[in-house]
Amino acid sequence: MNSCQQKAMEKLLHGRGCANQLLVMDHTESDSSMEREDLAKSVLHCFSDALSILIDTNHEHQDDQSNNSSPQDSSPVLESSRKPLHKRGRKASMAESSDYHRHESSTPIYHDGFLWRKYGQKQIKESDHQRSYYKCAYTKDQNCEAKKQVQKIQHNPPLYSTTYFGYHTCQLHQAYATFPIDTSDPEDHEGSHMIRFGHPNTSFFSSSSTNSLCQHQSQNQNQNQNHIKDEYMTTPDKAEEWSPSQWMSSEVAHAVEAFEFNPFWTSHDLSS
């Protein structure tokens, strides 16, 4: 897979993360409707970005072919992958980096499908609000260099800017795919505490007996999963009630249909 395909895949995976978040939100909470809309917009944004990348890549590929360039030169290399990272101090401005994307929303995006660890907060000049710095929770474990910055940019109405830098090389997204799917009797949960999350129709479970990555994730997403557990384990008949169009804008619902979007696609699915 070349870097642009990987970039596009990352966008799609991020979109999936947002979609997951969207799916697990308590849609009975009226005050979360704005956040749902913002997440839905993020999903659309990610799809648009992925499409743009793929279209651009296709054009570049065609250009390369017309220029008779060698096949190994046809994969554009991300600028960031060439830049050496300093151990400490300011790099070339992150916002000047080519591989970032920015979302603006009325609520800060804390839960976007990835696990983040805050590593700094700073008052930015000519801004009334502080900027928070996050890096992927698997930075050390898996050398994942994805980062994000969250900053309130407007007070009334509240507006938050979330900027993502770099790409997840961690296996978190694959952990979703490696959660065991329970094919046994749904009543038989002996020895493992099954937590169902995501789309109620997908029989998608996390188990306390899965690998450490999954455990880590399930510990750190307690808030999410607890309410999912509460909602879906106690009311299995919710499956009948689920409909994307109920709490997605029609725009998003159409996009999901158009993409035949499945929030549990794996990176393998996306790359094949």
Pairing of strands 100-105, 116-123: unpaired
Residue in the structure block whose two tokens are 């017309």: 66
Among 20, 80, 149, 225, binds DNA (CB under 7 A): 149
Please, what is the minimum distance in Å from the beta carbon of residue 88 to DNA? 4
Under the criterion CB under 7 A, does residue 124 sit at the interface with DNA? Answer: yes
Please, what is the minimum distance in Å from the beta carbon of residue 92 to DNA? 5
- Spatial separation of the C-alpha atoms in residues 20 and 204, rounded to whole Å: 12
Binding to DNA (CB under 7 A) within 189-228 occurs at: 220
Among 26, 73, 119, 262, binds DNA (CB under 7 A): 119
Length of the chain: 272
Under the criterion CB under 7 A, does residue 82 sit at the interface with DNA? Answer: no
- Spatial separation of the C-alpha atoms in residues 117 and 134, rounded to whole Å: 5
Please, what is the minimum distance in Å from the beta carbon of residue 121 to DNA? 3
Per-state percent for the chain, helix, strand, coil, to nearest 5: 45, 15, 40
Please, what is the minimum distance in Å from the beta carbon of residue 197 to DNA? 19
Q: CA-based diameter of the chain, in Å? A: 63
Q: Give the dihedral of Cα atoms 110, 115, 118, 122; nearest 10 deg.
A: -50
Under the criterion CB under 7 A, does residue 90 sit at the interface with DNA? Answer: yes
Binding to DNA (CB under 7 A) within 129-148 occurs at: 131-133, 135, 137, 147
Q: Point out which residues bind DNA (CB under 7 A).
A: 86-95, 116-122, 124-126, 131-133, 135, 137, 147, 149, 220
